[in-house]
Structure 1
Amino acid sequence: MKKTFLLLLLSATVISCNDTKKETEEQPEEKVASATDESVKTYRGEFIYTDDAAVLKGNTFIYGVTIDDKSQELADKVSKIKKDAYDMVPVIVTGEVKPNPKAENEEVWEEVITIKDILHVSDKPAKNDIKLEEKKS
């Protein structure tokens, strides 16, 4: 009786382990198949747009932003929130970061981000680290 019970228990363990391996082997394939472009990632940072340039600054990165329709759309959304010209607004975007082809010839950002999608724009500007004020004489 004990031998039969141990044999059934061992069989059940082996069968359940085989099913687990099949599930874990299939999961990475599904993730790869569902990922359309591995170079497009989500970025959270502060966005600023001026006449000369656009910049996305995060906690661990600073990227120049490629000026195109999506960055113009983001600039329009941010302009409604900014209180002055140099306010930075927190945003969440998806984009693709690449080396800046102009970086060799000019003093520009080494890497640029091309915004693919705008996920979120804050409803208020980021707090300024340093605020400069003019003294009235």
Structure 2
Amino acid sequence: MLKHSLLTILCLALFVSCKNEAKQTVDLEENRAKSYNQDDGFVTLKGDFIYYGDAAVLQTASEIYGVVIDENLHLLEKEVKPFKKEATDMVPVTVRVRKFEKGKDEEGWQYRVEIKEILKVEAPDPESKDVIKLAN
């Protein structure tokens, strides 16, 4: 009887945890679909975000973008702050942005993004070995 009860509880726990994970994935997919289906010129980007000093960067798997410093950037910085151990830590985010080319007389990466909506902020992977430390 005890084994049967433990097995039932274990199965129930697995079912509930899988259901929550699937819901989070569906929500993100709905948000992505919303971004592409709105035909508003905004795109969804997922990457590592850092705001340090007077520069903000979003690094995706294939591109690096300079981020426009505005009110939405500061809102994103407030959301990522609890995940940072050091000021130079990058935090995974998913955001809707307006992507545009930088001016010819401006320095920086070829493309810039202006954050329009924050979809998700995640904790950095503690197992990641992608750490760069700057020192004098």
Band the TM-score falls in, shorter-chain normalisation: 0.5 to 0.7
Match of residue 49, structure 1, among 38, 48, 51: 51
Contact 1:46–1:89, Cα closer than 8 Å, also in 2: yes
Structure 2, unaligned runs of 5 or more: 1-36
Q: How does 1:103-118 map to 2 (within 5 A)?
A: 104-118=104-118
1:67 aligns with 2:69: yes
**1:93 alignment counterpart:** 95
Structure 2 SS opposite 1:80: helix
Deviation of 1:100 after TM superposition, in Å, equals 1.2
Structure 1, unaligned runs of 5 or more: 1-33
Deviation of 1:123 after TM superposition, in Å, equals 2.6
Deviation of 1:51 after TM superposition, in Å, equals 1.3
Q: Show CA shifts across 1:85-117 (max 9, x none).
A: 11100000011110112xx23431221001110
Instruction: Calculate the aligned-residue CA RMSD, in Å.
Output: 2.1
Change (3 A) 1:97 1:131: closer
Show structure 1 runs of 4+ deviating over 3 A. 130-134
Q: TM-score, normalised by structure 1?
A: 0.63
CA distance in 2, matches of 1:82, 1:125: 11
Aligned length: 98
CA distance in 1, matches of 2:134, 2:71: 35
Change (3 A) 1:128 1:107: farther
User: In structure 1, what residue type is equivalent to 2:123?
Assistant: D
